[in-house]
Amino acid sequence: MTCILFDNNFRKSLRNKIVDLHLYYMRRTKIPDHVLSFIIKSFHFHTPIYGMFFFILAPLNYTYIFLVNLTLCLSIFFYLKGCFLTQLEYKLVNKEFINIIDVFIYYYGDEPTEENRRIYTLKIAYIYFVIIFFILLIRYKFNL
């Protein structure tokens, strides 16, 4: 007997409810959908880049807090069977939808399918966490 919390349909349903709730509140701002999508896509794309600078430059105590949040985001990605921000972007502008991971997919000569997007997301996340681990290790070891 499987717990309902780990049922695939439940998790996808939960992700859709989270997306719909965010969509409801975002649309109440009266900002057009394409602008909302741009804001989310920009945030979605730039957060890892700025996060890397944060891990390099911020006081170590703050980097640990950021690392916990980053790990929580990855856990939510696994639990919900995908990124709810990506689903939110898609619902805002389903035509001409470009995922932020598509840059890497095209760079390596693959086609942006749902499966490739998931695989590349996990690969990039793995590389990102390894780099962060080494940055924090060096900073901790040399008290930087």
pLDDT digits (tens, 9 = 90+) for 78-129: 999 888 888 898 888 876 678 889 999 999 999 999 899 999 999 999 999 9
Q: Are 55 and 136 in contact (CB under 8 A)?
A: yes
- Decide if pLDDT at 1 tops 60: no
Instruction: With beta carbons less than 8 A apart as the criterion, state whether 68 and 76 touch.
Output: no
Judge contact between 50 and 130, C-beta under 8 A: no
| Mean of per-residue pLDDT scores for the chain | 91
E-strand ranges in 68-139 read: none
pLDDT at residue number 2: 64
| Angle, vertex CA 142, rays to CA 136 and CA 144, nearest 5 | 65
Q: What is the pLDDT of residue 96?
A: 66
**In contact, 42 and 35? CB cutoff 8 Å:** no
Residue 67's pLDDT is 93
Q: 3-state DSSP call for residue 35?
A: helix
Domain assignments of the chain as residue spans, ordered by start: 8-141
Report pLDDT for 143: 86
Determine the distance from the C-alpha atom of residue 113 to the mean position of all C-alpha atoms in its chain, rounded to a whole number: 17
Question: What per-residue confidence (pLDDT) applies to 58?
Answer: 95
Q: Report the pLDDT value the prediction gives residue 93, as an integer from 0 to 100.
A: 86
The reported pTM is 0.85
What pLDDT, on a 0 to 100 scale, did the predictor assign at position 99? 85
Residue 74 confidence class, pLDDT cut points 50, 70, 90:
very high
Give CA angle at 33 (30, 37), nearest 5°.
Answer: 125
* Number of residues written out for the chain: 144
The CA-based diameter of the chain, rounded to the nearest angstrom, is 50
User: What's the confidence (pLDDT) of residue 98?
Assistant: 80
